[in-house]
Chain A
Amino acid sequence: MAQERLTKGSLRRERFSTSVRRLRGFWALYKQSHIAMFGLFLVLAFIAVALAAPWVAPYDPRALVGKPFERPGEDHILGTDQVGRDIYSQLIWGSRISLMVGLFASVFSVAIGTAIGLVSGYLRGPIDTVLMRITDLFITLPSIPLMLILAAIIGRSVWNIILVIAVTGWTGTARMVRAQTLSIKERPYVEAARSVGARDSQIMFRHILPNIIPLIFANAIVGIVNAILAESGLSFLGLGDPTKPSWGLILRHANEVGAMATGRLWFIIPPGVCIMLIAIGFAFSSYSLDQIMNPRLRERRG
């Protein structure tokens, strides 16, 4: 027994130090890229703003604290909206909605996709066929119209938005995980595990899944970009939570009151820039991860 515990312990230590070494090597590559570091900086900056919102925002984002359409000035750095709410405060609080929807929707959709891809690729047979036809269906359905319809049916709230985005966004992950599972399943060590009597669930979670985790992670980050953009779009089209300040909602108001034709720049530019910067933060990070993890794309000159 003691012997066994010893080997198990040393094995665990061995595994741990391997992953630490891998992460270090990874970080070394990541650090070299300006694009990667800029992306990471943007992401961290927005997370900081979102966390500090109650202390950073000068006003309650929902309170009428000024006259309608005030230009940017001393009292209101970015002016006020059509009913006199402070736009700067709305922007700061809006970062919470964006990050929350982005993170949760992406985590949920990646979880759904991973489960379906793993089961489908590992079990094959009729289950695989059924799951893949369902995946085909969801790939086929145009996402924004489907989201609009779902959101219209289930009602307007932040969690419904997250649900709608997750339900429509898992297909890419499912296909990727399935393809990976198919190839990893054939590797000798999986064969070995099976021959010593490992259960299916054990093989799936202990032998196959850990190998796909880096790819799933990269997928999740792309998912965040898509979810953030989808949230802004749904809010812009009027399907977001009308009581929560979100960037898409500000733009909806700007569009409704015709801020473009009257040249009210402060109403239009800042919310869009915020959406763009946070999405760029995640997009740059994911692009760099992809370049590092896909060795074929790594620097090489022929």
Chain B
Amino acid sequence: MGCFDMGFKEYVGKRTLHGVVTIFLAVTLNFILFRIMPGDPTRAVSGDPRVDTATRLALIAKFGLDRPLFEQYFIYLYNLLRGELGISFVQIGRPVIDIILGRKMVNTIILMGSSMFIAFILGIVAGVFAAWRRGTKIDIFFIVFSLATYSMPVFWFGMLLLLFFSYYINIFPIAGTITPGVVHANFFEYAKDYLHHLMAPMITLGVSFFGGYFLFMRDTILDVFTEDYMLTARAKGLSNRNILFKHAMRNALLPMVSLMGVHITFLISGATMTETVFSWDGLGRLIYDSVRNNDYPVLQGIFLLMAVLVVVASILADVVNAFLDPRIKEAVD
């Protein structure tokens, strides 16, 4: 579309600019959500009985809560740039930034990363297989299975696993990230305990994401099958296996990468549910607890952190994609 002269660097630049604008909008929305919406949480909180008078006065001064909204907005931006997100109303005195950028974030990243990885790999393998065996019983089984898992509430599947593992077979611990009260002899003992706790939530999230990846991969492979170069490959007399893995799969992986970037938001949503069911000590569980306790500063902080994470992830996915496939940056509009 008239941008043949646009190079890779310009594409990355444009994408980054879009990302910065999106983050800025997210910051603004965050401000609006928490100050202008009915109830005005921030002001309500400065009358919150859990906060003592001295802290309240300090808060009002720090965030300029007695100033006009317009000024508050700039004070908010200024504080944000310094990494100042306020303090938790529940764990009085603890800065929000310490709460969210710590162990909880690591726990969430481990849970999300591992389940995404498993769903991604299985989705690709099953997708390629089903597309190759199109219309057979196996293909239809996978389609039905993935539509069914897509239609299943994540938290309910988690509850089923809990029921199964806690009531029928006692192989996985049912809650938390490590066994409470146990002092681990060394790092390996700790890791073993951690992984043991990770299994059930990871299976839950992994299964809930398998369907989306599978259907997408299957459709993409079917699309690739109709491309001219596939006919060429066949005419050259390449073996089926060669065609499948060297041509079809390689070309179908590109759209999968960009799907992953977009998918992070869904993963965060799924993680919120899963962490709540399994009492996994991560950011999702923290969101739930903060909503219950009206801990608005923490909510605001997590919300912002997630927006930034998603923007960065989707830019990375797009850039990797553009690097692999030069056609994409031409079609940026």
The stretch that binds A, out of B61-69, B121-129, B185-193, B299-307, is B299-307
Which residues of the partner chain B approach A255 to less than 8 Å between Cβ atoms? 155, 159, 277
The 8 A CB mask of B97-133 against A (1 = contact, 0 = none) is 0000000000000000000000000000000000000
Flag if B37 contacts A232 (CB, 8 Å). Answer: no
Find the B residue at minimum CB distance from A255: B159
Which residues of the partner chain A approach B38 to less than 8 Å between Cβ atoms? 153-154
Is there a chain A Cβ closer than 8 Å to B135's Cβ? yes
Q: How far is the CA of A262 from the CA of B174 in the complex (A)?
A: 13
Flag if B151 contacts A133 (CB, 8 Å). Answer: no
Which residues of the partner chain B approach A141 to less than 8 Å between Cβ atoms? 26, 29, 265, 303, 306-307, 310
> Count of chain A residues with Cβ under 8 Å from any Cβ of B?
55
Candidate in A152, A248, A255, A260 with the most chain B CB atoms within 10 angstroms: A260
Could you tell me which residues of chain B, from 268 to 293, have a CB within 8 Å of some CB in chain A? 268-270, 272-273, 276-277, 284, 287-288, 291-292
Flag if A272 contacts B160 (CB, 8 Å). Answer: yes
Is there a chain A Cβ closer than 8 Å to B33's Cβ? yes
Could you tell me which residues of chain B, from 154 to 197, have a CB within 8 Å of some CB in chain A? 154-157, 159-160, 162-163, 166-168, 174
Flag if B163 contacts A260 (CB, 8 Å). Answer: yes
Q: How far is the CA of A254 from the CA of B160 in the complex (A)?
A: 12
Could you tell me which residues of chain A, from 123 to 172, have a CB within 8 Å of some CB in chain B? 133-134, 136-137, 139-146, 148-150, 152-154
Q: How far is the CA of A261 from the CA of B174 in the complex (A)?
A: 9
Which residues of the partner chain B approach A296 to less than 8 Å between Cβ atoms? 222-223, 226
Find the B residue at minimum CB distance from A281: B151
Which residues of the partner chain B approach A269 to less than 8 Å between Cβ atoms? 160
Could you tell me which residues of chain A, from 256 to 289, have a CB within 8 Å of some CB in chain B? 259-263, 265, 268-269, 271-272, 275-276, 279-280, 282-284, 287
Q: How far is the CA of A238 from the CA of B143 in the complex (A)?
A: 33
Flag if B219 contacts A297 (CB, 8 Å). Answer: yes
Which residues of the partner chain A approach B57 to less than 8 Å between Cβ atoms? none
For chain B, what secondary structure do more than half of its interface residues adopt (helix, strand, loop), or is it mixed? helix
Flag if A148 contacts B288 (CB, 8 Å). Answer: yes
Flag if B219 contacts A142 (CB, 8 Å). Answer: no
Is there a chain B Cβ closer than 8 Å to A5's Cβ? no
Flag if B303 contacts A145 (CB, 8 Å). Answer: yes
A233 touching B159 in the complex, CB below 8 Å, given contacts A142-B310, A146-B303? no
Candidate in A35, A137, A232, A272 with the most chain B CB atoms within 10 angstroms: A137
User: Chain B interface (Cβ within 8 Å of chain A)?
Assistant: 18, 21-22, 25-26, 29, 33, 37-39, 41, 134-135, 140, 143-144, 147-148, 150-157, 159-160, 162-163, 166-168, 174, 215, 219, 222-223, 225-226, 230-231, 262, 265-266, 268-270, 272-273, 276-277, 284, 287-288, 291-292, 294, 299, 302-303, 306-307, 310-311, 314
